[in-house]
């Protein structure tokens, strides 16, 4: 393919991205301004995108995602698409830590782990997909509790170890600390010798949609909690950005 052809694809892709990621359908003039393209070039590329149902132009000259996107969405599980978007972030966290990395969502009172990248270490390699883990002694679960995606308990919680927080009032205070720090930790609360840290993934609307976390043996995790907490927060924010969230406030969870 010639460089001219590649340039045309790049420009069309830029226009398409601006349309799809915009909070409100952008007008033609805004697209020209944002890309710096000549009006004639932008108009020609947008016409091509419209012919292929990738964008749709309304009567006021604004553009929105075309019907091809709706056709794709109707044939695919949104969770599968979310996992695919998250996979590079999970792999980046794995490369930085070597530990098991998980992505989880809330379903009623439970934490469902929907994706995992295995630890590179022999000690600590566990497949958590499909494993029923009490949310209150899971770092991922605490993030989802703190976001209000799991209803706050009013009764004594199950003690998995002597470190498990079981009193509802103490658990509420613990969640306040989670919100303040921007990440959760679970230290030998599910199983003695197993530690984890996790942070919130925020969607386009500003609502928490998932949690991403690291887990491994206490001997490798405990001494690095501040560094791992900062790392998981940064990667969670990066994934939130991929989903379209604008982090307008420094340190926002």
Helix (H, G, I), strand (E, B) or coil at 107: strand
Nearest to 133 by CA among 111, 153, 118: 111
Mean pLDDT score, 160-170: 95
Confidence of residue 251 (pLDDT cuts 50, 70, 90): very low
Percent of the chain topping pLDDT 70? 91
The per-residue pLDDT for range 43-89, each reduced to its tens digit, is 999 999 999 989 999 888 899 888 887 766 656 556 778 888 899 99
Confidence of residue 178 (pLDDT cuts 50, 70, 90): very high
d(CA 177, CA 14): 41
Nearest to 46 by CA among 17, 70, 24: 17
* Secondary structure element (H or E) that encloses residue 215, with its range: strand 208-217
- Spell out the alpha helix ranges (H) of 26-138: 28-35, 39-51, 67-75, 78-97
* Domain range annotation of the chain: 3-74, 78-242
d(CA 251, CA 253): 6
The pLDDT of residue 217: 94
Q: Of 115-129, 133-147, 169-183, 222-236, where does mean pLDDT reach its minimum? A: 115-129
d(CA 119, CA 100): 4
CATH 3.30.450.40 for domain 78-242: yes
Confidence of residue 199 (pLDDT cuts 50, 70, 90): very high
Q: How big is the CA angle at 154 (ends 150 and 137), to the nearest 5 degrees?
A: 55
The pLDDT of residue 244: 84
The pLDDT of residue 73: 60
Q: With contact defined as beta carbons under 8 Å apart, do 220 and 196 qualify?
A: no
Q: Of 4-8, 92-96, 129-133, where does mean pLDDT reach its minimum? A: 129-133
Mean pLDDT score, 185-211: 94
Those residues whose C-beta lies under 8 Å from the C-beta of residue 123, and which sit 6 or more positions away, are 217
Mean pLDDT score, 155-163: 94
Q: Which fold has domain 3-74?
A: Arc Repressor Mutant, subunit A (1.10.10)
| Dihedral sign computed on CA atoms, order 222, 226, 230, 231 | negative
Q: With contact defined as beta carbons under 8 Å apart, do 188 and 195 qualify?
A: yes
The pLDDT of residue 140: 96
Q: Of 47-51, 78-82, 131-135, 148-152, where does mean pLDDT reach its minimum? A: 78-82
The pLDDT of residue 35: 92
Owner of token pair 């998250």:
86
What pTM did the predictor assign?
Answer: 0.71
d(CA 95, CA 230): 16
Owner of token pair 């009567």:
59
């Amino acid at each position: 393919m010639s460089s001219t052809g590649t340039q045309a694809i790049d420009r069309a892709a830029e226009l398409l991205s601006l349309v799809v990621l915009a909070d409100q359908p952008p007008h033609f003039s805004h697209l020209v301004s944002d890309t710096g393209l000549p009006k004639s070039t932008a108009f020609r590329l947008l016409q091509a995108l419209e012919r292929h149902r990738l964008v749709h132009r309304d009567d006021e000259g604004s553009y929105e995602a075309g019907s091809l996107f709706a056709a794709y969405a109707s044939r695919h599980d949104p969770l599968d698409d979310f996992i695919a978007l998250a996979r590079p972030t999970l792999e980046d966290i794995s490369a930085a830590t070597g530990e098991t990395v998980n992505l989880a969502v809330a379903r009623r009172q439970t934490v469902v782990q929907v994706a995992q990248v295995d630890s590179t270490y022999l000690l600590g390699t566990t497949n958590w997909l499909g494993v029923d883990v009490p949310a209150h002694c899971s770092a991922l679960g605490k993030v989802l509790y703190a976001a209000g995606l799991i209803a706050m308990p009013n009764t004594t919680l199950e003690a998995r170890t002597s470190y498990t927080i079981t009193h509802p009032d103490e658990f509420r205070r613990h969640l306040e600390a989670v919100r303040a720090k921007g990440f959760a930790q679970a230290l030998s609360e599910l199983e003695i010798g197993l530690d984890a840290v996790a942070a919130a993934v925020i969607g386009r609307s500003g609502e928490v949609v998932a949690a991403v976390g690291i887990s491994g043996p206490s001997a490798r995790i405990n001494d690095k909690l501040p560094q791992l907490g900062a790392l998981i927060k940064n990667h969670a924010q990066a994934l939130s950005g991929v989903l379209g969230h604008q982090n307008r406030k420094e340190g926002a969870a």
